[in-house]
Amino acid sequence: MASMELPSRSVERQRHAAAEQARMRLDAGLREWSGQRSALTADGLGRNPLRRVPRGWPEVPAVRVDVAAREACVLDDESARTEASRLLWSAIAKLVGAAVSLAIPLSIVLALVVGS
């Protein structure tokens, strides 16, 4: 059983390392996008502001950033749905617990007021 966990952990580590590299590419792509957008809006552009950005802007960088964003996500769609469901049930359980915790002191106070 333990031997099955080691490859699984190794795969998870590799997935997280790949996602971290993709996140760094995403950050670089967003910085590049921001710099190019700033160049477009700079003062003194003249008649053709597109001469300050690479050909294909904004489509080419937008596609690169979109790909990097998808690669930076560790969860696939099914895992994301499973995680969302788990978080929903956890939130419901916490709300029920809070309601019970509030109901007990409230019932004691109510019993004291009615009993007086």
Q: What is the 3-state secondary structure (H, E, C) of 12-37?
A: HHHHHHHHHHHHHHHHHHHHHHHHHH
For residues 67-72, average pLDDT: 84
pLDDT score at 1: 47
In the chain, what are the domain boundaries? Answer: 1-74, 75-116
What is the Cα–Cα distance from 105 to 111, expressed in whole angstroms? Answer: 10
What is the Cα–Cα distance from 102 to 94, expressed in whole angstroms? Answer: 12
What is the Cα–Cα distance from 51 to 40, expressed in whole angstroms? Answer: 9
What the block records as the tokens of 23 is 């996140």
Look at residue 36 and tell me whether its pLDDT is greater than 90. Answer: no
DSSP label at 50?
G
pLDDT score at 38: 83
- Of 5-9, 24-28, 35-39, 96-100, the one with minimum mean pLDDT is 5-9
What the block records as the tokens of 53 is 């950005």
What is the per-residue pLDDT across 13-32, written as a single tens digit (0 to 9) for each?
888 888 888 889 889 988 98
Please say whether the beta carbons of 71 and 19 come within 8 A.
yes
